[in-house]
């Protein structure tokens, strides 16, 4: 069974440029997460989807970040314009979430973004 | 307030020895889940072990066990018989199961860098 697939693995862009990350979750998983991990820190949630609905986006900087999950499967995360402080690893994860039953989240390998 | 606290930035252990990685958590919800993940230098997050707040027994998965002390709100990871391949960053995480709009959010600690030496 394929795991969570993210692309690209690495991206270097100049500040003020746009950038997009793509995530394909595990088949059948209804919950998708985007996390940002700064160097030496734990991951922090940016947005969480249940199917195609964004149910938790309170930590997404909406002035420059946007995300979508069309048809409740693949997802893209976009930054426009990028700033130097956006340099981080962006992790996508998916899980099968059913209220009252907890399951682990499976993570992709992440996209390492460097803004110069 | 921090939801997850990992007080050990780095730990060192000799191969074949056991090591305990500390984790304390903060929640007022009666229902929650606790997770440990391993992150090698390659960057992927690998799920290791899960403990539910209502589980009576400590979780075990092979060489990993979770020392769950509910009253103290601690969920320490014990790795027995350490191997060189265990060298990685280890993250403790918590998900609150019944809290409004943050239902399902997974909170992570800052991690502990484990180094296993021969």
Q: What's the pLDDT tens digit per position in A14-67?
A: 999 999 999 999 998 988 999 999 998 999 999 999 888 898 898 999 999 999
Question: Between A1 and A20, where is the model more confident?
Answer: A20
Q: Cis bond leading into A8, ω under 30°? A: yes
Q: Where are the beta strands (DSSP E) in chain B?
A: 4-5, 10-14, 19-21, 24-25, 32-39, 46-52, 60-61, 64-69, 74-79, 88-96, 106-108, 112-117
How high does pLDDT run on average in chain B? 92
Q: How far apart are the CA of A14 and the nearest CA of chain B, in angstroms?
A: 23
How high does pLDDT run on average in chain A? 92
Mean pLDDT across B72-91: 97
Q: Residue B42: closest CA among chain A residues belongs to which residue?
A: A109
Percent of chain A with pLDDT over 70: 96
- Please indicate whether, in this complex, the C-beta atoms of A43 and B108 are within 8 angstroms of each other: yes
Q: Is the pLDDT of residue B101 over 60?
A: no
Q: Is B58 exposed, middle or buried (0-12, 13-18, 19+ CB in 10 A)?
A: middle
Residue A39: enclosing H or E segment and its boundaries? none
Facing A106 at nearest CB: one of B47, B104, B110: B47
Q: What's the pLDDT tens digit per position in B29-48?
A: 888 999 999 999 988 899 99
């Amino acid at each position: 069974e394929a795991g969570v697939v993210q692309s690209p693995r690495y991206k270097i862009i100049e500040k003020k440029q746009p950038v997009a990350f793509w995530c394909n979750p595990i088949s059948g998983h209804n919950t998708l997460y985007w996390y940002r991990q700064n160097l030496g820190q734990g991951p922090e949630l940016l947005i969480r989807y249940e199917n195609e609905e964004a149910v938790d986006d309170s930590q997404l900087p909406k002035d420059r970040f946007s995300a979508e999950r069309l048809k409740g499967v693949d997802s893209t995360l976009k930054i426009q314009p990028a700033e130097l402080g956006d340099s981080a690893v962006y992790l996508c994860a998916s899980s099968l979430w059913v209220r009252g039953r907890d399951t682990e989240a499976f993570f992709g390998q992440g996209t390492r973004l460097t803004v110069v | 307030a921090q939801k997850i606290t990992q007080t050990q930035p780095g730990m060192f252990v000799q191969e074949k020895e056991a090591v305990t990685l500390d984790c304390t958590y903060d929640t007022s919800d009666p229902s929650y889940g606790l997770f440990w993940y391993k992150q090698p230098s390659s960057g992927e997050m690998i799920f290791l072990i899960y403990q539910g707040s209502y589980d009576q027994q400590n979780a075990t998965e092979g060489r990993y066990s979770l020392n769950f002390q509910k009253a103290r709100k601690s969920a320490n990871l014990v790795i027995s018989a350490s191997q060189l391949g265990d060298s990685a960053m280890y993250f403790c995480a918590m998900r609150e199961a019944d809290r409004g709009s943050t239902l399902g959010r997974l909170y992570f600690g800052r991690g502990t860098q484990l180094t296993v030496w021969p």
